[in-house]
Structure 1
């Protein structure tokens, strides 16, 4: 058995060893100052507001890995859903929502 295969097998079989979370997972401070939690939901990542006047509302669902994610984002004020994306860079998450891929708004969230 090759060393690399053995190490991968040993890590998967070892109890108590968790695989690293995706960079987008965690709690983020939004541009409005609310806290949003991003967590796995099925094969995607769901965005749920935890604080503010829309606390408890799911405002997005993104797919992806590493630094880049795409899916849908809902404006909690208007309840309109847009195609969206997120890009993680360190402790910053640049969120972008677009209508017809022409009219876009962006904001940067900060990891808590």
Structure 2
């Protein structure tokens, strides 16, 4: 096999192997919350689950969202009182803006930063 043929075969193998690897969604990763804790967002089935990793509420799952790219929606739970709200998450660079609403009228937002 010629040197060119070997390089072409190697490049094709790399492309085939790389095609099976899915890139992480933009929302996945560790985020610093507005109160300073670390929250981890990871794939859980067809959604993305949020779990508090540090601080007083360590280990609590506080959200589940679906979506792709920079826009997600689902439910967000306030770990302090256990109340769950309909919510959205929008990513812009290394910022994640979370908005939770009660009755679609009373909304509160906070911004998290990617760690």
Per the TM superposition, whether the score is higher than 0.5 is yes
TM-score scaled by length of structure 1: 0.86
| Residue 32 (structure 1) aligns with | 35
Give the TM-score normalised by the residue count of structure 2: 0.84
Residues of 1 paired with 2:59 and 2:19: CA distance?
31
More helix by share: 2
Count of paired positions? 104
Contact 1:82 1:98 in 2 (8 A): yes
Question: How far off is 1:19 after superposition?
Answer: 1.9
Q: Does the CA contact (< 8 Å) of 1:11 and 1:17 recur in 2? A: no
1:104 and 2:110 correspond = no
| Structure 1 gap segments, 5+ residues each | 1-9
Task: Give, in whole Å, the separation in 2 of the partners of 1:82 and 1:16.
Answer: 38
Between structure 1 and structure 2, the one with the greater Rg is 2
Alignment RMSD, CA only?
Answer: 2.0
Cα distance in 2 for residues equivalent to 1:90 and 1:28: 12
Task: Note the residue ranges of structure 2 that are not aligned, 5 or more in a row.
Answer: 1-12
Alignment partner, residue 82 of structure 2: 79
Q: Kindly tell me: are residues 12 and 78 of structure 1, through their superposed partners in 2, closer, same or farther at Cα, counting changes over 3 Å?
A: farther
